[in-house]
Amino acid sequence: MEDIQKLIEKHQYFGRAGTALIYATLVSIAVNFFWTPGNIYSSGVTGVAQLINTLTGRYGPFQLSTSLMLFVLNVPLFILAWFKIGKQFTVFTFISVALASIMMNLLHPIPLTHDPLICAIFGGAINGLGTGLALRYGISTGGLDIIGLTLRKKTGTKMGTLNMAFNFLIVVAAGFVFGWPYALYSAIGLVVNARVMDMVYTRQQLLQILIVTGRPKSVTDSIQNHLRRGITIVHDVEGAYKHDEKALLITVISRYEMYELQEAMEESDDKAFVSVTEIKQVMGHFYEPEL
């Protein structure tokens, strides 16, 4: 049994490393193919790294590259993640940031277009996809994601919302450096980035599940075997069509766990009535797996 568990963990490690490489490739494409040619700033620490690259190129004796500054600015945040989030999380975050820095140097800029609107939209979508995939599989992309995950544990605020709050200064910086039209284009890119990231990172999207079943014990056991979720059971529920005795089960899961719920229902009661509703917030204890 221990050998099987070690094999599973080994595959998970390889999977996360592969996800980190995918993220690094996507963010490099976003920066080199879209944001840099369009004079658009990214979100978070990547945007700050771009800003330093621009300012040192204009006013400094030498220019600091975006890839180098991306790694340097993340060093203190690695320390924060190590103590506040988790050691394994930090290791894979380090890997993803290091790979992103390397890929930015390997993938030389190809200006597909200089249209700032197109660059903002496609750069934001590609970066949001990469960031969302990384977070979904337990990897941070560094920077504001570490701060955002730390705060989200306390507030429950969505990652995209937190990023938007932090990125106001980056939009202002884009206005001063490239002109205010580019600040607005950067803002569009940040909105697209946040929306795509929230769509992909489904672990934070909460769903209320109502289940009407004649087999409450079987369904409850099956769900709790698949998911670590509490369930409230309301007995003596009557079906209006046949007037047979039912029970109402109430639970809350993340959208990320929807597949496991479907499996549990197929195993326990495939004829049960299941209602799924998206919810905004949960008050009280709600278990979130450690990263």
- Check which CATH number belongs to the domain holding 271 and give it: 3.30.70.120
Whether residue 168 sits in one domain with residue 144: yes
In this prediction, residue 1 carries a pLDDT of 46
- Domain extent for 268: 205-279
In this prediction, residue 159 carries a pLDDT of 57
Judge whether 255 lies within some domain.
yes
Judge whether 79 lies within some domain.
yes
Whether residue 188 sits in one domain with residue 50: yes
Whether residue 210 sits in one domain with residue 132: no
Whether residue 143 sits in one domain with residue 235: no
Whether residue 221 sits in one domain with residue 173: no
In this prediction, residue 133 carries a pLDDT of 85
In this prediction, residue 10 carries a pLDDT of 57
Whether residue 104 sits in one domain with residue 184: yes
Judge whether 186 lies within some domain.
yes
- Ordered per-residue pLDDT tens for the chain, 291 residues: 455 445 545 556 777 888 889 999 999 999 999 998 998 988 788 888 998 999 898 888 889 999 999 999 999 888 888 887 778 778 888 999 999 999 998 887 777 888 999 999 999 999 999 988 887 776 777 777 677 767 766 665 555 566 667 778 888 888 888 888 888 998 899 889 888 887 887 666 788 999 999 999 999 999 988 888 889 999 888 888 788 889 999 999 887 688 788 888 999 998 899 999 988 777 776 666 555
Judge whether 290 lies within some domain.
no
Count of domains in the chain? 2
Instruction: Return the HEC string of the chain.
Output: CHHHHHHHHHHHHHHHHHHHHHHHHHHHHHHHHHHHHHCCCCCHHHHHHHHHHHHHHHHCCCCCCHHHHHHHHHHHHHHHHHHHCCHHHHHHHHHHHHHHHHHHHHCCCCCCCCCHHHHHHHHHHHHHHHHHHHHHCCCCCCCHHHHHHHHHHHHCCCHHHHHHHHCHHHHHHHHHHHCHHHHHHHHHHHHHHHHHHHHHCHHHCEEEEEEEECCHHHHHHHHHHHCCCCCEEEEEEECCCCCCEEEEEEEEEEHHHHHHHHHHHHHHCCCCEEEEEEECCCCCCCCCCCC
Whether residue 211 sits in one domain with residue 167: no
Judge whether 289 lies within some domain.
no
Whether residue 179 sits in one domain with residue 227: no
In this prediction, residue 152 carries a pLDDT of 67
Whether residue 164 sits in one domain with residue 132: yes
In this prediction, residue 93 carries a pLDDT of 86
In this prediction, residue 141 carries a pLDDT of 79
Whether residue 69 sits in one domain with residue 21: yes
Whether residue 210 sits in one domain with residue 231: yes
Judge whether 245 lies within some domain.
yes
Last residue of a domain, one of 203, 233, 267: 203
In this prediction, residue 290 carries a pLDDT of 54
